[in-house]
Amino acid sequence: MKRVWCLLLLALLSGSAFAEKGLKALAPKSAPPLVLPTLAGGPKTELKQLRGKVVLVNFWATWCPPCRQEMPSMQRLGDKLADKPFAILGVNVGETPAQVGGFLKIVPVRFPIALDEKGQNLDAWQVFAFPTSYLVDKQGRVRYGLFGSIEWDEPEAVQVIESLLAEP
């Protein structure tokens, strides 16, 4: 775990050296399992329960300025695609429910926030910097990745998501 935090610190200090421009197409592969408690409480959220939808999985932290900046655009994207088989799952890493809840009072979102307080999913999802996002297709395969932030409701990102939504 110490190694992961050192890598995250290095990535944060390196800034844009780790960021890529836009979404990067990846060789389709099954998404790693993701079973986590949510900030809202209740049963744990499971990525496999969202099969049949295109899912934006976003790993973030409240102390990360690019994460904070892109959150409103993710909510706008969710609003824009509300009538489609699309879901957003925010995965907060390394913070307590109180920390996350306090942040969401300032930057409110309506999509579910899963809590990975110990960072147990970072290796499986290859998260080396915040934010890191993946688009998972309807069959549960990781298809696109982004290491850095974007405005999720911009035409380029929406077009990629709509292409995944058009697939059977």
pTM, whole model, 2 decimals?
Answer: 0.88
Residue 93 lies in a domain: yes
Q: How many domains does the chain have?
A: 1
In a domain? residue 159: yes
Residue 164: pLDDT over 50: yes
Average pLDDT value for residue range 34-40: 95
The residues, any chain, with a CB within 8 Å of residue 58's CB and separated by 6 or more, are 70, 74, 88, 89, 90, 91, 131, 132, 133
pLDDT digits (tens, 9 = 90+) for 122-157: 999 999 999 999 999 999 999 999 999 999 999 999
Instruction: Yes or no: say if 120 and 32 are a contact pair by the CB < 8 Å rule.
Output: no
Mean pLDDT, residues 85-113 taken together: 97
Q: Which residue range(s) make up the domain with 75?
A: 2-11+23-166
In this structure, what CATH number is given to the domain that contains residue 74? 3.40.30.10
Give the whole-angstrom CA distance, residue 158 versus residue 79: 12
Secondary structure (3-state) at 57: strand
In a domain, 17, yes or no: no
Residue found under tokens 């996002």: 133
Determine how many CB atoms are found less than 10 A away from the CB of residue 117: 15
Which runs of consecutive H residues, i.e. helices, occur in 58-136? 65-80, 97-106
List, for residues 53-97, the tens digit of each pLDDT value. 999 999 999 999 999 999 999 999 999 999 999 999 999 999 999
